[in-house]
Structure 1
Amino acid sequence: MGLTNQNSENKKKKKKNLNPESEFRFALDTCSKNKDLIGALSLFERAVSQNLTLNSYHFNNLLYLFSNSLSETLDPSSKNSILENGFKIFDRMLGSNINPTEATITAVARLAAAKDDGDFAFELVKTMGKYNISPRLRSYGPALFVFCRKNDAEKAYEVEEHMVFMGFNLEEPEIAALLKVSAECGREEKVYLYLQKLRNSVRCVMESTAEIIEGWFLSKLGSDVGNLNWDAGRIKDAVLKNGGGWHGQGWLGEGKWEVCRSNVSLEGRCCCCGEYLDCIDIDRLETQKFAESVASLAMQRELKSNFKDFQKWLDDHTEYEFAVDGANVGFYQQNFAEGGFNLSQLNSVVQELYKRTQKWPLVILHTKRVRALMEVPSNQQFLEEWKARGALYTTPNGSNDDWYWLYAAVKLKCLLVTNDEMRDHIFELLGRNFFLKWKERHQVRFTFVKCALRLQMPPSFSTVIQESEKGSWHVPLDVECGTWLCINRQKSCENPKEISVGLDSHEIDRKAFSDQTSASSFTVTSECGFRSFSVPSQLPVNGTLAVNGKRKDRSPSPSNFPPH
C-alpha cells in the first residue's frame, strides 16, 4: 500500500515539474489516444495563445487526428469544421517554418480529398521534393481515389504515371480504382492494361474488385470490343514466351460475354467452360535475369572461381530435368538420437526420377559430405554410380550448396526436388513475389511414408488471373473454396454435365517421358487438395491420352506427367 502511494506521489511530482511544452505534449497524446478532437483543438488554440514552441511532432499528431476523424463524421457542418481547422493547423505549421514530413503531407492530402480537391492533394505530393522527403504509396491514395471517384480518368492516369516514375508498384485497391474509372469512361485499352497489372499484383481478387470486373464484361462496350481475325500462331507464341496463362495481345473475339462463378478441378479444368488453366512459369526474359541474379549473389558470397567453374560445367551438361537438394533429402526426418544423413532416402529419389524420365537427375552435395559418406563401404556403390552417370556434383569446401542447386534449377529450367521453404534472407534478395511464382512452378516436394517415397509435383495450374489463347478469362476469387470467375464469349455458363477429375477426363503430356512406362500411382496437388491416379503401363506414341473428349493442346504441366 505504501509503495503504491509513493509511486502515485512520484507521478504527481513528475507532472508538476513538466514545462508548458511537455505538458502540452502529454495532454495532446492523451487526446489522440482517446480520439478527442475537440479537446485537441482546444489545446492547440491555447498553445498558440500562450506562444508555446510547437514542433513537427505536435503538428503531425494534430493533423493525423483530424484526417482520421473524417471517416467517422457524417454531419456536414462538423466535417466542414474539421477541414477548416485542419488546414488552419497546416498553415500554422508552414508559417512557423517547420518542414512537413511524409506523414504531414499524407494527412493534409486526406483532408483535401475529403473536399473532393484531388488537384490540391496531388500537388501536395508533387511538392514533397522541395522538403527533401520521399512519398510513400499511401501518399498518392487521396488524389488518385478522388479522380477515380469523379471519373476524371486523365488525371487519375497522371497520378499513376507519377507513382510509376517514383518506383511504386500499385496494389489491388489502386488498380481496382483505375480499372473502374477506365471501364466507366469507355477506355477499353486501359481496362485491358489494368487487368494485366492486376494479374501481376495479386493471386485472388477481392469481391469488390470482382464486381468491377464483372461489370466491365457485362457492359455493352465490353461486348463490342475485340478482334475476330487474330493470328492464332502469334497468340500461342506470346503465351509460351510469357510463361503461360496470358498473351497480352488485346481483346480477342466479339459478342456478348457470359460470366459465371465456377470451380476448377484438381487437374486445372474449369467446370463451367471446360478449358484447362495453365501452371504459369516466369517468362524467358525473367528466367534469364533470375539466373543472372542468382549467379551474381552467389559470387558475392562464394569464392568466385569456384562458382564460375560450376557455371562452365553446367553449360556443358544441360540435359537434366531434375535438380536435387541432396542434403535436404538425406537429412529428412533424421532429427533423432541415432539420426544422420540417410543415403538410401536420397538413392530412392534418384532412382525414382530416373524411372520417370529415363534420365539421371543432378544431385548437389557438399564435398565434405561425400567424403564422409564414402568412408562407409555400403555407400560407395551408390556414389560411384552417380559419378559415373554424371548425376553428382560436389560443391567445394567453404561453399553453400543452396546457390548451386538453385542456380542449376533456374539455368536449366528444370524441376527442383527439395522441401526447403527457401525463406532465408539470401532468397529474399531475389524478390518475394517473383520468387514465389518460380517456386510454385518448379519445386517438387517429397515425403517418405513407411519408407515409401512420395513426390508432390507442382500444382497443375496457377491461382492467378489467366487469359487464354481463345480470349476467355478466369479470375480467382477464393483459394480455399476454389471459386473462380469464368468469362467466356463462346459458351453458355449453364451448368454442364459433371466433369470428372479422373485420368480419363484429361490428357497426359508426355514431353519429359519415354513411351514405355509401367503402372504406378502418384499424387497430384493443388491449393484445394490431393488426388491419386493410376497410370497405364503404355501410352500411345502420339504423346497424349484422351479416353473421353477431344484432344486438346495445352502447355505441359509436371503434375500431369505419368510417374514411370
Structure 2
Amino acid sequence: MAPFALNFHTQLLLRSLTSKPNLRALYQPSTKTLTFCFIQTKQLTSIQCSSLNSQLQTKGTPSASFRDRRGSLKPKDISSSYEVCERVEKKKKKKKTKKNKDSPEAKLKNALDMCSKRGDVMGALSLYDSARLEGVRLGQHHYTVLLYLCSSAAVGVVRPAKSGSGARTLNALVSSNEGLSESMDTNDRHFELDGNAELNSDMNPTQKDGILLVSEDVKRYALQRGYEVYENMCVDKVSMNEAALTAVARMAMSMGDGDMAFEMVRQMKDLGISPKLRSYGPALSTFCDNGELDKAFAVEKHMLEHGVYPEEPELEALLRVSIGAGNSDKVYYVLHKLRSSVRKVSPTTASLIVDWFKSKQASRIGKRKWDKRLIMEAIENNGGGWYGQGWLGKGKWEVVHTTIGKDGVCKCCGVHLTTIDLDPIETENFSKSVASLALMREKGSNFLKFQKWLDYYGPFEAVVDAANVGLFGQGRFMPHKIKAVANEIHQRLPSKKFPLIILHNKRIKGDKMDEPINRALIDKWNNANALYATPSGSNDDWYWLYAAIKFKCLLITNDEMRDHLFQLLGNDFFPKWKERHQVRFSFSDTGSPVFHMPPPCSVVIQESEEGHWHVPIETELNYESERRWLCITRAKLDMVRKDCSTTSKDSKPLQKAECARSATRNASAKE
C-alpha cells in the first residue's frame, strides 16, 4: 500500500487517518498515545511503517505510532485489544490508590482518627509534632481532628468517638465529634508516639461513664497547643470548616471568652460556611454563665437570622440567665419559646421554672386589671392554650405537681386544659410532604398505586400498623393479635367499618399464613377491602403513616416513630399530629386488646385566661395518664386545693412541700 498524505493538526490527523477503510486507531488517554493498526491482506513493510513514524515525530504531533501487524486484524481482535487496555488502566488506578493510601498524609490521617476514637489528645499532638518535623503537609481533616481533641481537653472532658451519647447539653464540656472519626485499621499506623513528648503520669485522664476527664495541667497544655495548631492552620492557608471554627470557639469558652467564641461564628458567614446549632453553644454558654443577658440574646438573634433554632438546652440556658437577671419579660419570652418548640420540659428545666415562680420578682410582676374579652380573643386566634400578652395578676405564686384526669381537668386546680387545634392548612401540607418523601424513596410506582387504592376504597376511620401489632410482646409474628385489635377497634368506630390494615406482603406469604385459620383471616380482610399488602422492597411505615394523615384518623401502633425516616418530617408539626392521632395498645391477661387513646388535652405548656400555667414534664412513662405536670397559680387566701400530690420522684424541686395545703377550691377560682 502506498503512503498517503497526513495532516498533522490533531483533529485533522484523526479524520484523515481514520477515514481510510483499512486503518484503525486505538487511543490511550493515560499516555496520550495513538496507535494505528492497518487491516489488510497486503502488508506494509517495516520500512514503510518506520517512514510514517519518523514523519509524525519530526512534526511534533501528539504521540502516535504505526505498527506492522503482519496480517489482517479481525473485529474479534479489536475487541480483545480494548479489553487489554481497560485492564491496564484499572491496574494503574489501583496502584495509584494504593500509593495514596501509603502516603505519609494518609497514614497521618488514619493515626489521628485512631486518636480521636480513643480520645487520645496527647498521642494526637505527638503525631502532629512528628509530622511537622518530617515535613508532612497537613490538610483540613488533620487540623480539624487536632482542634477537636485540643478543644475537648481544654474544657476538661473528652468523649471518645462512638462511645455513645446521652442527652445533649448546651455546655460543650461534652460535645459531639461528629464527622471527625472514621473506622481504621490500627495496624496501619506509620507515626509512632514520641515517648519524650508524653506528660507525666499525674496528667493521664481518668475515665467516667464513657468519657475522659483530664487534669488542669492537661487543660492548660491542650489550650496552648490548640491555639498553636489553629495559627499554623491559618499560616498554611488551609481552608476552614464549621467543625474547626467551632473547636476554636470551644477553646475560647474554656477561657471564659464569649466574645471570641461568638466571633468564630460570625467568621463562618464571611467564609460562606453555614453555622450549625452546635456552633453557637460555646458563645451562648459563656455569656449565660457570665450573666451577660444582652449578649446571650444577641447570640439567639443571630441564630434565628441564620435559620438555626434553639432547642431545650439553649432555651434552658437563656431561661437561667433571665432568671438570674430578674428580667421578667425575657422569662416570659423563653417560656413561650419552650411552649412552641419543646412542648414538654426536662426535670432540670422544670426545676428552673419552679425557682422563677417562687422568687420575689415573679410575685411583683403582672397586670392587676385586664380586658378578659381581649384575652379570650387572643387565645381563640392562637388555636387555644395561650394568649402571649404578658403576665396577668399579682401576688405570690403557688407551684405544685399534679396529674391530668381522663377528662382533661387538672386534679389540682380544676382547670380544663385545652386540646389545641391542628391547622388544616398545616395538616394538608404535612400530608403532601409525607407523600413526596415516600414517592422519592419507594421503588417505581408502588406508592402511586397505593394512593389510587386509597382514593378508591377510602376513607377509613383508623389505620392499623399490623406488623407492630402482630409482633407485640413475644417477637414472633402472631396474626391472631391483629385480628383481636382490628375486631375491637372495628366495634368502637362510629361507622362500624373495618380499619385499614397495612401489612408487608412477606407477612402474608409462607407456611404459617397458609394455615386455614390464617388464610380465612386474610380472605375476610380482603373481602372487606380493609387489607393493603405493601410490595417487596417497600417500607410499610410510609404507607400506614400517609393513610392516617390523609384521612385524619386514628393510628394504632406502639411505634415510637423516632428513627431516621420520621426525623425527615421535622420536629415542628409531626409531634403535634402524633400526639392527637396515635393510639397505643396492650393486651390484658385474657388476651383482649387494651387501647390507650390520645391524651384528653394537648401535652404542651399552657397559659390560661387567668394567667395561670400548666407545664408538662418529660419523663419515662408507659402511658400519658401517668405524666406529671406543674400547676402554677396565683396564691389567694380564699383558695384551697384538692387532689394535689408531691410524692412523685418528679416532685424533687418542691422541697418545702408547697402542695401540703390540700383541700378543695371554691368558686373564686374564676378570677
- Which TM-score applies when normalising by structure 2? 0.56
Matched AA of 2:499:
V
Q: Which residue of the partner structure matches residue 363 of structure 1? A: 499
Provide closer, same or farther for how the CA distance between residues 256 and 31 of structure 1 changes in structure 2, counting only shifts above 3 A. same
Per the TM alignment, residue 94 of structure 1 is displaced from its structure 2 partner at its CA by 0.7
Matched AA of 1:364:
L
SS at match of 2:595: strand
* Equivalences for residues 482-521 of structure 1 within 5 A: 482-491=627-636, 496-498=641-643
Alpha-carbon distance between aligned partners in 1 of 2:121 and 2:525, rounded to the nearest angstrom: 74
- Asked if the contact 2:154/2:218 (under 8 Å) is kept, the reply is no
Per the TM alignment, residue 472 of structure 1 is displaced from its structure 2 partner at its CA by 1.2
SS at match of 2:399: strand
- Asked if the contact 2:155/2:254 (under 8 Å) is kept, the reply is no
SS at match of 1:455: strand
SS at match of 1:474: strand
SS at match of 1:122: helix
Q: Which residue of the partner structure matches residue 178 of structure 1? A: 318
Per the TM alignment, residue 442 of structure 1 is displaced from its structure 2 partner at its CA by 1.4
5+ residue gaps, structure 1, are: 1-16, 387-391, 501-526, 528-547, 554-564
Alpha-carbon distance between aligned partners in 1 of 2:389 and 2:217, rounded to the nearest angstrom: 49
Provide closer, same or farther for how the CA distance between residues 447 and 353 of structure 1 changes in structure 2, counting only shifts above 3 A. farther
Provide closer, same or farther for how the CA distance between residues 308 and 56 of structure 1 changes in structure 2, counting only shifts above 3 A. same
Per-residue Cα deviation, 1:5-36 (whole angstroms, up to 9, x for no partner): xxxxxxxxxxxx99799689859966995756
Alpha-carbon distance between aligned partners in 1 of 2:116 and 2:482, rounded to the nearest angstrom: 63
| Alignment pair present for 1:217 and 2:357 | yes
Q: Which residue of the partner structure matches residue 17 of structure 2? A: none
Q: Which residue of the partner structure matches residue 60 of structure 1? A: 144
Alpha-carbon distance between aligned partners in 1 of 2:436 and 2:465, rounded to the nearest angstrom: 23
Further displaced range: 41-50 or 215-224: 41-50
Alpha-carbon distance between aligned partners in 2 of 1:28 and 1:141, rounded to the nearest angstrom: 24
Per the TM alignment, residue 499 of structure 1 is displaced from its structure 2 partner at its CA by 6.6
* Equivalences for residues 261-300 of structure 1 within 5 A: 261-267=400-406, 268-278=408-418, 282-297=422-437
- Which TM-score applies when normalising by structure 1? 0.65
Per-residue Cα deviation, 1:451-508 (whole angstroms, up to 9, x for no partner): 64543322334544332332211223453585433221155799844479xxxxxxxx
Alpha-carbon distance between aligned partners in 2 of 1:213 and 1:364, rounded to the nearest angstrom: 44
Per-residue Cα deviation, 1:405-457 (whole angstroms, up to 9, x for no partner): 64554355443345566567655543356434322221224456546454332
Per the TM alignment, residue 54 of structure 1 is displaced from its structure 2 partner at its CA by 3.6
- Asked if the contact 2:434/2:542 (under 8 Å) is kept, the reply is yes
Alpha-carbon distance between aligned partners in 2 of 1:85 and 1:63, rounded to the nearest angstrom: 9
SS at match of 2:583: strand
Q: Which residue of the partner structure matches residue 258 of structure 1? A: 397
Tell me how large the CA RMSD over aligned residues is: 5.2
Q: Which residue of the partner structure matches residue 307 of structure 1? A: 451
Alpha-carbon distance between aligned partners in 2 of 1:324 and 1:335, rounded to the nearest angstrom: 21
Per the TM alignment, residue 312 of structure 1 is displaced from its structure 2 partner at its CA by 9.0
- Asked if the contact 2:262/2:299 (under 8 Å) is kept, the reply is yes
Per the TM alignment, residue 259 of structure 1 is displaced from its structure 2 partner at its CA by 3.6
Residue identity over aligned pairs, in percent, reads 38
* Equivalences for residues 67-466 of structure 1 within 5 A: 67-72=151-156, 83-185=223-325, 187-202=327-342, 204-232=344-372, 235-236=375-376, 239=379, 244=384, 246-267=385-406, 268-278=408-418, 282-297=422-437, 302=446, 304=448, 307=451, 310=454, 322-325=461-464, 346-354=486-494, 359-361=495-497, 363-364=499-500, 406-407=545-546, 409-411=548-550, 413-418=552-557, 427-431=566-570, 434-446=573-585, 449=588, 450=590, 452-466=592-606
Provide closer, same or farther for how the CA distance between residues 425 and 476 of structure 1 changes in structure 2, counting only shifts above 3 A. closer
- Asked if the contact 1:243/1:284 (under 8 Å) is kept, the reply is no
- Asked if the contact 1:281/1:437 (under 8 Å) is kept, the reply is no
Provide closer, same or farther for how the CA distance between residues 312 and 468 of structure 1 changes in structure 2, counting only shifts above 3 A. farther
Further displaced range: 189-198 or 80-89: 80-89
Alpha-carbon distance between aligned partners in 1 of 2:148 and 2:355, rounded to the nearest angstrom: 36
Q: Which residue of the partner structure matches residue 475 of structure 1? A: 615
Alpha-carbon distance between aligned partners in 2 of 1:41 and 1:233, rounded to the nearest angstrom: 67
Per the TM alignment, residue 55 of structure 1 is displaced from its structure 2 partner at its CA by 3.7
Per the TM alignment, residue 324 of structure 1 is displaced from its structure 2 partner at its CA by 3.7
Per the TM alignment, residue 141 of structure 1 is displaced from its structure 2 partner at its CA by 1.0
SS at match of 1:251: coil
Provide closer, same or farther for how the CA distance between residues 458 and 345 of structure 1 changes in structure 2, counting only shifts above 3 A. closer
Further displaced range: 109-118 or 455-464: 455-464
5+ residue gaps, structure 2, are: 1-101, 157-212, 509-513, 621-625, 651-663
User: Rg: which structure is higher?
Assistant: 2
Per-residue Cα deviation, 1:364-414 (whole angstroms, up to 9, x for no partner): 368999xx99x9999999998x7xxxxx67769979987676455435544
SS at match of 2:155: helix
Per the TM alignment, residue 361 of structure 1 is displaced from its structure 2 partner at its CA by 4.5
Matched AA of 1:258:
W
Matched AA of 2:328:
E
Alpha-carbon distance between aligned partners in 1 of 2:465 and 2:286, rounded to the nearest angstrom: 55
Per the TM alignment, residue 258 of structure 1 is displaced from its structure 2 partner at its CA by 1.8
Alpha-carbon distance between aligned partners in 1 of 2:127 and 2:477, rounded to the nearest angstrom: 67
Alpha-carbon distance between aligned partners in 2 of 1:296 and 1:29, rounded to the nearest angstrom: 41
SS at match of 1:169: coil
Provide closer, same or farther for how the CA distance between residues 335 and 110 of structure 1 changes in structure 2, counting only shifts above 3 A. closer
Per the TM alignment, residue 168 of structure 1 is displaced from its structure 2 partner at its CA by 2.3
Matched AA of 1:217:
F
Alpha-carbon distance between aligned partners in 1 of 2:274 and 2:222, rounded to the nearest angstrom: 27
Provide closer, same or farther for how the CA distance between residues 248 and 284 of structure 1 changes in structure 2, counting only shifts above 3 A. farther
Matched AA of 1:476:
P
Provide closer, same or farther for how the CA distance between residues 21 and 446 of structure 1 changes in structure 2, counting only shifts above 3 A. closer
Provide closer, same or farther for how the CA distance between residues 207 and 22 of structure 1 changes in structure 2, counting only shifts above 3 A. same
Alpha-carbon distance between aligned partners in 1 of 2:326 and 2:292, rounded to the nearest angstrom: 12
Q: Which residue of the partner structure matches residue 539 of structure 1? A: none
SS at match of 1:274: coil
Provide closer, same or farther for how the CA distance between residues 376 and 487 of structure 1 changes in structure 2, counting only shifts above 3 A. closer
